[in-house]
């Protein structure tokens, strides 16, 4: 039976508060009862399980750290544990929650007007309004400062032109947070579904994150009122601050996916008898399992310390880069290792490692590729940007 506590080699359980354990366990039950029974089929059929959105809202999973607008007011460690559990289920489900909370509710909360907050945040917390975040463009996502999408003021309107690509939840979103270059630098805009000149299209045939919607957004002389500009978001730092929130959640999520793969590999090794004994009795297999436990344990400790720093207001975005890089790498490598341990059965979507392995190929690319995070940490250490 999958669980949220294996491996717990360093008794990390004892380092969590009662609130943190309760939050994690509530999400774990949701994942075990509602996500795991359907997720393989969703992945196979390339379907986002939108029927889960009201239940996720009911559990308080959207904007969980905000204390207003109907949100739960949880701490950052709770938020991280939520993401760990969702990604133990599937990266696509975690992605949906990351985008809704970290990439859409966060910028409205941090940079929006009172009217924008009232208009969107209560509905987003209830899952009644869905958001997407448009930063990446077809010509390259790693260098968002070079974006081509632009906005020009015309009377009391902004007119947007350009395109965004690889946008999670794009076609279903009621509101898109769109980042565009203006004569006064980079700004953020709220573009509502149905606005003339704004169209979306799904990206199909993905071999990764198949239980998540990924889309293109197009702006063709798309006219939006001045009141839809995020008044307090000025410059590249604004979208990058949103990425910090989502990357923080991914640092926890990568470990959730790794735990699921480890558990399935360990269970298989206990049952599989080869050359007269179970695989758990083989030296080489023990080393492989021990090495997985080592990597997961270091990732768990890293995520927890990151969360404690965030709750104390001491987290820097370079801390997040190191954790996103490390913990997604742990997830990718363990998923691949577990897939191999399961033998031929491991290629079936009925076993979770291949699904996690394929999903994590997106996770290691989005929210800053592994290389970008290595270069962010390198810049912090040396003082020289080498992008």
Nearest alpha carbon to residue 2 among 342, 256, 320, 344:
256
Give 290's Cβ-side CA count (13 Å radius): 8
Q: How far is the CB of 367 from ligand TGC (least distance, A)?
A: 4
Is residue 87 close enough to count as binding ligand TGC by CB under 6 A?
A: no
Instruction: Choose one: 62-70, 200-208, 232-240, 340-348; the region binding ligand TGC (CB under 6 A).
Output: 232-240
Using DSSP, state whether 386 is helix, strand or coil: coil
Among 27, 135, 151, 251, binds ligand FAD (CB under 6 A): 135
Pairing relationship of beta strands 157-168 and 214-225 according to DSSP bridges: antiparallel
Within 10 A of 232 (CB to CB), how many other CB atoms are there? 12
Is residue 189 close enough to count as binding ligand FAD by CB under 6 A?
A: no
Buried b (16+ CB within 10 A) or exposed e, 243-268: bbbbbbbbbbbbbbbbbbbbbbbbeb
Is residue 365 close enough to count as binding ligand FAD by CB under 6 A?
A: yes
x/- letters, 193..212, toward ligand TGC (CB under 6 A): --------------------
**CA-derived radius of gyration, the chain:** 21
Q: CB of 63 within 8 A of CB of 121?
A: yes
Which residues from 8-37 bind ligand FAD, rule CB under 6 A? none
Pairing relationship of beta strands 273-274 and 277-278 according to DSSP bridges: antiparallel
Within 10 A of 23 (CB to CB), how many other CB atoms are there? 26
Which helix (H) or strand (E) element contains residue 200?
strand 198-202
Which residues are catalytic, by number? Answer: 367
Is residue 233 close enough to count as binding ligand TGC by CB under 6 A?
A: no
Among 57, 78, 209, 335, binds ligand FAD (CB under 6 A): 209
Query: Minimal CB distance to ligand FAD: which residue?
Result: 141
Backbone angles phi, psi at 228, to 5 degrees: -90, 5
* Residue 286's binding partner out of ligand FAD, ligand TGC, none, with CB under 5 to 8 Å set by partner kind: none
Q: What are the residues facing 154 on neighbouring strands?
A: 157
Is residue 91 close enough to count as binding ligand FAD by CB under 6 A?
A: no
x/- letters, 88..127, toward ligand TGC (CB under 6 A): -------x--xx----------------------------
Among 84, 244, 300, 327, binds ligand TGC (CB under 6 A): 244
Which is nearer to ligand TGC, 227 or 240 (by Cβ)? 240
Instruction: Choose one: 59-67, 253-261, 268-276, 358-366; the region binding ligand FAD (CB under 6 A).
Output: 358-366
Pairing relationship of beta strands 131-134 and 175-182 according to DSSP bridges: parallel
| Chain residues that interact with ligand FAD, rule: CB under 6 A | 99, 133-136, 140-142, 166-168, 209, 214, 362, 365-367, 369, 371-372, 387
Contacting residues toward ligand TGC, per CB under 6 A: 95, 98-99, 133, 135-136, 141-145, 168, 235-237, 240-241, 243-244, 246, 317, 366-368, 372, 376, 385, 387
């Amino acid at each position: 039976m999958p669980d949220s506590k294996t491996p717990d080699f360093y008794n990390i359980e004892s380092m969590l508060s009662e609130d943190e354990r309760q939050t994690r366990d509530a999400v774990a039950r949701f994942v075990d009862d509602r996500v795991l029974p359907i997720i393989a089929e969703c992945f196979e059929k390339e379907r986002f399980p939108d029927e889960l959105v009201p239940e996720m809202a009911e559990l308080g999973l959207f904007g969980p750290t905000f204390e207003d607008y109907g949100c739960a007011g949880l701490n950052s460690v709770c938020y991280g544990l939520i993401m760990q559990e969702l990604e133990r289920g599937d990266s696509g489900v975690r992605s949906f929650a990351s985008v809704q909370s970290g990439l859409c509710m966060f910028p409205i909360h941090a940079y929006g007007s009172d009217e924008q907050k009232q208009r969107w945040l209560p509905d987003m917390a209830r899952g009644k309004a869905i958001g997407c975040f448009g930063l990446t463009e077809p010509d390259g996502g790693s260098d968002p400062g070079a974006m081509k999408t632009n906005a020009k003021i015309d009377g009391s309107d902004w007119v947007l032109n350009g395109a965004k690509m690889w946008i999670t939840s794009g076609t279903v979103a009621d509101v898109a947070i769109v980042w565009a270059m203006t004569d006064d630098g980079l700004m953020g805009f709220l573009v509502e579904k149905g606005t003339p000149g704004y169209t979306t299209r799904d990206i199909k045939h993905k071999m990764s994150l198949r239980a998540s919607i990924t889309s293109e957004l197009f702006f063709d002389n798309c006219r939006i009122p001045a009141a839809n500009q995020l008044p307090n978001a000025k410059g590249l730092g604004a979208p990058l601050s949103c990425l910090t929130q989502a990357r923080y959640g991914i640092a926890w999520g990568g470990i959730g996916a790794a735990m699921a793969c480890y558990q399935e590999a360990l269970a298989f090794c206990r049952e599989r008898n080869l050359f007269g004994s179970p695989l758990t009795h083989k030296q080489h297999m023990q080393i492989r399992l021990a090495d997985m436990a080592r990597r997961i344990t270091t990732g768990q400790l890293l995520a927890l310390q990151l969360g404690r720093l965030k709750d104390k207001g001491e987290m820097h975005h370079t801390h997040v880069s190191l954790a996103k890089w490390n913990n997604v790498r742990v997830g990718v490598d363990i998923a691949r290792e577990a897939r191999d341990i399961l033998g031929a059965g491991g290629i079936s979507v009925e076993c979770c490692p291949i699904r996690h392995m394929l999903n994590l190929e997106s996770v290691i690319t989005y929210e800053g590729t592994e290389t970008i995070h290595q270069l962010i940490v390198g810049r912090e250490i040396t003082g020289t940007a080498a992008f």
